[in-house]
Chains A and B, each alone.
Chain A
């Protein structure tokens, strides 16, 4: 390694060392300055970064420069030419390559002593064993579905008998000039699912407007994709990534736009509407990524209090941030509801369990439906499903021992998790 590089590396650490060598007024009571915390940060702490896009590129570079040396990055996507304006780890020669691989290679080439392991995968390709190896997970995603998945996965991984199983999740998100970063401590703080109702719903237009009274270029594009495509190609699914499909939609939308005297239909708008693309702004990504990495650093080192637990950033007009504690939602599908152990006798059957539940005064359930991770055990309604699951009523509860059974009922906030012991 060249002398210059080595020096740069020491210098980078010199700044970080200042906060690791002595405590400050906001330091956590557990903080112990000195060698151990540096060693943990620089040699032991293993961080997973989900997403190698606008946020992910910033995050992986920031974390590497902060001193984290064992990073993993997952992204299922490949690099598109339109990414190059803000996903600054990529060059035009990288177009078509895996985002995760290109980002990892770039960071390792520029920052010595950092190992970045790339995974060109979907997050769903991995199971608990994979996620268990990390100390922290930082997300820079643009998909609600992926966030919900990782949130539920990390929540479910928490094992009471294993402190290592609790992985802090730091979630960054941006939308144009707005963004947010949040710290989720699964089972302790409110989770991602708790705030699902706060999300802006995907933009849609009334189907009757699309069909009859289009006024906007978007209406013409939705007309082509929602109404015309299934009519013309009843058995072919629209592929948003297929340029031929986009071309077809563009031509259809243009004809429609001309007919109604609407201007503004073009290739990029068609792509934007069908893929529901939200404009991504490099500066917003940089701010949110910085906040996420700051949190990762504070959580890994305890040098200062971490974010509790939601910071929103609005940069449309001036700069506004607001930090608050998002509360746990009692009716949250993932973390809400009560959990309890229920002692059952071996000779009992599922039907007995229903009776026990109905008699428990604290729940007030009347028509409990039961399921586990294998599927439905007993559903009270509709009649077809009741009949289909009725055969399980006579099953012995000993088959379900040690498992968790989810109970839903109109009188429960959302659900009750029962572990049969």
Chain B
């Protein structure tokens, strides 16, 4: 997966830095953009600026860009799924056109359309999910998720009164940031310790989490602790809802935590070290723990996710 520094041509090496800058720039300047979306935008950017003259060259440039993004310290799961979709389908145009110029313009056009649809996705998910938040609900959520935030905003704007519990979510304490964002919307919320999931579970009506990736079985890959929450919710018979955009569907079929690729679990800077001493950043929640997934394709049961992916990669 890692690009060998020595065999990369000079021009690409320059690019690699540039790509990292574009990608990192989007993520830092625009708080509302998720890593997967930023990756797709970066790829579009690369496609636009690309000067290559053959399809193969373009292909390898894009692939190099993907590798460069995977090597940054941002969550890699969504980047991987977004890029896979992009490379496979947007650049699929190369098969049925005559000249390279034509082909590239079609790719760009498709890419832009794709991006436009993705931008609409979060609103759709939020709208679906907000109907499940009713007056007086107490919702438990994990870490920070933009889709969940969006869904809750939507519900708050519909004048629903509800309360949110957020896990602190170590090691980056992103739950605190989530609280700040929710409080901006005047949604009453409480940050709890990760170890207090069991403690608050009896008080809540439902669990709503986002996802970094949705795998073929219908399970999800998400910030570490999601699995704990799902197991706990199942034991206490609380519905466990996942809010996610469909571009996060990945072709992966993990059976357990160990099956998750290491680059998903650890940031690239830690990959060289002794991993047994490092904390994983994500975990895998099997589909049997998930009640429903809210996606821009509609409300899906976990088994419907497989159906979607089969349709896509047939």
- Determine if chain A interacts with chain B: no
